Amino acid sequence: MRSLALAFLSSLMLAPALFASPPTPDPAKTALAAEVQALRQNLATLAAEVAALKAAATPGLEARVAATEAELAKFGAALAGVETRLAELSESQAMTAETLGSIESAETRAIHLTTYGTFAVEDTSRSNSTFDAESLELVLSAQPHPRLGLFAELEFERAAAVGGERGGEVLLEQAWASFRLTDWMSLRAGALLVPFGNVNVDHYAPNRDVISKPLVSYVVAPSDWTDNGLGLSGTVLLGGEWVLRYDTAVVAGLDEDVTALGTRAARQPFGADNNNNKALVGRLGWKYGGAFELGMSGYDGAYDDDGQLPLSGWAVDALAVVGPLRLTGEFDHFAAGQAVGPDARLEGWYVRAALDLFTRLLRSGRHGELFPEARVSLVGQVERVDLAGPLEGTWEENSEERLTLGLNYRPASSWVLKLDREWRRAPDRALVFGDEEAWLGSIGFVF
């Protein structure tokens, strides 16, 4: 066994040399080496001629020997010069290789920065119109090793210190380190974006076809939903354009503040856990190129302080692209066990359609030259949430629904101008907005 281990280690040590590509010859260095070889041959010929002249006793021998020795000295000086140039070139190449190695090492360790944000305007039937620099997010990523990586997202949400209190916040939306175990599995650890539902998978607001976050991802699955934990994720090729994407995690989970108002208040701070029962959450997504995706999510854990009452949830989401038409939808359901009485029930859904218009016109002429990927989309979305559960010692049933019609203009995939009209209805207690109508506009970017 020991011999086998030594042989295996030896093969690992020899592998880089066996499989390394041969160095590419440098033309200048090759030419100088050839010149040195030629000079050395000439010197050898002259030296042989001097020896032959000295051995022969012929008239004028001394003059001929002196001339040959002078020629020999000239070739010797030339050879020394060429050898000096060759040494300088080798030293220069070594320094250049060292510099390039340092640059490549620094580039490997470099942290890459991406940013995205949204500026919005809102005018509702119950309040004054407002300008809202809603958010600016900094996304940091790095891969110091082919199998090691890190990712972090820092959000500045309505945050400013100029002009008194502004009511904003700066928060860490996600930050994790990863270790790629195989081509289809990576370990993640840190502050994870909980893999439940469609919005948490693609939660970047500028990429969404409507301005407002769906109601279901606000009160049922409380995005942006971040929790400390460990997770496994990866992508499996299924053949053709079909792939399977999976994300699973063990997290602290939601606490006992699950009520008839939803789960948003049940998100726990980093480094806290109200019980000794961890939650298991995950999502499986089947995807066919960029034309179709079907996702299924699950959640299971105890949520009360004693760790006895179960909280379970599931979700289904889908995306389909048919020519200029994009269809997106999601349904989420949670059930929270109660010490007495029926389980609390929280569920909601949305369906969204976006139709690209005037694509050929937008991508022709001067506008097409400037923005070859431009598109205008007509958007419609209908959604509803229904909640039943405890609240302040009583049992309540609340619901809210919304209809959205909008228009998007995207001159490029990284920039969007949106205009939406919303009709909001809440027959009971307001869960997000209540009864009102609103006009919204926004500019979003991802760079």
> Do 31 and 120 belong together in one domain?
no
> Do 424 and 287 belong together in one domain?
yes
DSSP type of residue 292? E
pTM above 0.85, yes or no: no
Residue 6 has pLDDT above 50, yes or no: no
> Do 94 and 139 belong together in one domain?
no
Pairing of strands 279-288, 292-302: antiparallel
pLDDT tens digits for 148-196? 999 999 988 875 555 556 567 788 889 999 999 999 999 999 999 999 9
CA 115 to centroid of chain Cα atoms: 11
CB 197 within 8 A of CB 188: no
Which residue range(s) make up the domain with 255? 111-446
> Do 127 and 41 belong together in one domain?
no
CB 127 within 8 A of CB 430: no
Residue 30 has pLDDT above 50, yes or no: yes
Domain end (from 88, 105, 122):
105
> Do 372 and 248 belong together in one domain?
yes
pLDDT tens digits for 226-258? 999 999 999 999 999 999 999 999 999 999 999
CB atoms within 10 A of CB 14: 10
Q: How many residues does the chain have?
A: 447
> Do 33 and 135 belong together in one domain?
no
Answer whether residue 91 is part of any domain. Answer: yes
CB 363 within 8 A of CB 374: yes
* Structure tokens that stand for 38 in this block: 């030629």
**What is the residue type of 256?**
E
Which carries the bigger pLDDT value, residue 52 or residue 183?
183
Best CA proximity match to 267, nearest among 222, 332, 201: 222
* Domains held by the chain: number: 2
> Do 240 and 254 belong together in one domain?
yes
Is it true that the peptide bond before 435 is cis, omega within 30 degrees of 0?
A: no
Find the range with the poorest average confidence among 41-45, 147-151, 235-239, 316-320: 41-45
Pairing of strands 344-357, 325-336: antiparallel
Q: What is the DSSP string of 157-223?
A: ES---TTS----EEEEEEEEEEEEEETTEEEEEEEEE---SSTTTS--GGGSSSSSPPTHHHHTS-S
